[in-house]
Amino acid sequence: MADVKRKPKPHYHGHRDRLRERFAKGGPDALADYELLELYLFNSVRQGDVKPTAKALIAKFGSFAEAVSAPIERLIEVKGVGPKMALDLQIIKAAATKLGQESILGRPVLSSWTALLDYCRTAMQFEGIEQFRVLFLDRKNRLIADEVLGRGTIDRAPVYPREIIKRALELESTALILAHNHPSGDPTPSQSDIDITKEIVQACKAIRVSVHDHLIIGRENIASFKTLGLM
């Protein structure tokens, strides 16, 4: 009786175990961006080779962080990425944002400034449209709420001082930190940024609410109105 030929093992046989072992021993720094992404994609695709998909995502978006921050409609443009995988990728961004928020919620943010900047960067750094976020603080400068009060286009997010005042009164907030992103990547304040900040500061003075700072989140850096002497 002739021997039955065994089907050759795929080239990626054992690759998942090896990648997991490298991560277990060396952590995320032991892996390239595409490998870290690939490791996560094992959860979306139970069998098969996801390395080409991971590499394609990095090639399109530039980095791990930019890939997981991309909107679903852009993610599914990548070969091998369907709606489920795109949603799975967005869960990473949501989890990272939640972790950052937990690190500052209920704590005096002025003494946890680095954690605050890290959180704002995680939440807004790679957003494709402008969003205007307001961090509401209590009398001890502890974060009590973090809300996006304006979403707009690639270069403008409409925000209305009266809406900020309304929420500050509802939350009994005594101080604010303003933050918005520049999808262009350049955090330099525009004249409209300066003008709306002045309006908000003046409106807040009327109800004895302090505005500690206005942060503009770019791709690499964060601009602080306080540091720049603009408020």
pLDDT in tens, 10-34: 556 678 888 899 989 888 888 899 9
**Cα-based distances in Å from 194 to 89, 93, 178:** 35, 30, 12
Q: Which amino acid is at 29?
A: D
CATH number 3.40.228.10 is the correct assignment for the domain at 105-228? no
Mean pLDDT over the full length of the chain: 88
Q: Cα(204)–Cα(18) distance, rounded to whole angstroms?
A: 57
Q: How much is the pLDDT for 7? A: 61
CATH 3.40.140.10 occupies which residues in the chain?
A: 105-228
For residue 97, name the pLDDT band (cuts at 50, 70, 90): confident
**Model pTM?**
0.76
Please state the rounded mean pLDDT for residues 160-165. 94
Strand runs (DSSP E) across 3-159, as ranges? 131-137, 143-151
Name the CATH superfamily, with its identifier, for domain 15-98: 5' to 3' exonuclease, C-terminal subdomain (1.10.150.20)
pLDDT in the model for residue 11: 53
Q: Is the Cβ–Cβ distance between 116 and 109 less than 8 Å? A: yes
Summarised one tens digit per residue, pLDDT across range 170-215 is: 999 999 999 999 999 999 999 999 999 999 999 999 999 999 999 9
Which of 33, 85, 90 lies closest to 62, judged by CA?
A: 33
Task: Report the pLDDT value the prediction gives residue 13, as an integer from 0 to 100.
Answer: 60
Asked if 157 and 130 touch (Cβ cutoff 8 Å), the reply is yes
What is the chain's alpha carbon radius of gyration, rounded to the nearest angstrom? 22
In the predicted model, what is the mean pLDDT of residues 92-99? 88
pLDDT tens column, 98-141: 888 887 877 788 888 999 999 999 889 888 889 999 999 999 99
What is the per-residue pLDDT for 29?
87
Look at residue 8 and tell me whether its pLDDT is greater than 80: no
Let me know if 230 is exposed, middle or buried by CB neighbors in 10 A (0-12, 13-18, 19+): middle
Asked if 136 and 173 touch (Cβ cutoff 8 Å), the reply is yes
pLDDT at residue 86, rounded to an integer: 93
Residues ≥6 apart with Cβ < 8 Å to 49: 10, 11, 12, 15
The pLDDT of residue 173 is: 96
Q: Are 131 and 142 in contact (CB under 8 A)?
A: no
- Within the chain, all domains assigned CATH 1.10.150.20 are found at 15-98
